């Protein structure tokens, strides 16, 4: 499971030019799920995300978590995070989970993150063509992979 985490001032998701959800200060998480992912990946990743200290304290040092600042979180499914560009120029997505595997894991991820952070989690719609707008704060963008534990 891969998460691309962006510290944002605000973010929104629109589908067919209609605003679906939006957040203020917090995180936009693009989540890629692969066939080999399990609940153990969800628990490890949510634990890491909830404690990730990427928000400034009163001294301007990244020392606070999204929970510490009572921030907002948006999670958007993103199968292209598992793109392989090893051969040729057209990415392969063979490692990305098929919807029958990915959707339940995505939903469990959102539920577990909500439980872990005690924050409201906003989402896109799994499998939809989405327009994402954001103001990346910093910019701060971090990739976490549950298989590599980094």
Q: Which of 23, 25, 38, 80 is catalytic?
A: 80
Rounded to the nearest 10°, the torsion over CA 56, 42, 96, 30 is -20
80 labelled catalytic: yes
CA distance 93 to 35: 11
Contacts of 134 (CB under 8 A, 6+ apart): 6, 8, 10, 11, 12, 28
- Least Cα distance to 137 among 11, 42, 41, 48 occurs for 11
Active site residues: 80
């Amino acid at each position: 499971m891969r998460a691309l985490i962006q510290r944002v001032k605000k973010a929104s998701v629109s589908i067919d030019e209609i605003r679906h959800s939006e957040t203020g200060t917090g995180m936009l998480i693009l989540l890629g799920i692969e066939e080999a992912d399990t609940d153990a990946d969800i628990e490890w990743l949510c634990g890491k995300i909830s404690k990730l200290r990427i928000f400034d304290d009163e001294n301007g040092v990244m020392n606070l978590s999204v929970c510490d600042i009572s921030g907002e979180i948006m999670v958007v499914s993103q199968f292209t995070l598992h793109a392989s560009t090893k051969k040729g120029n057209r990415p392969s997505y063979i490692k990305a989970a098929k919807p029958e595997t990915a959707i339940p894991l995505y939903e469990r991820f959102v539920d577990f993150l909500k439980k872990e952070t005690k924050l409201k989690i906003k989402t896109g719609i799994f499998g939809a063509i989405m327009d994402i707008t954001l103001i990346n704060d910093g910019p701060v963008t971090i990739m976490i992979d549950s298989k590599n534990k980094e």
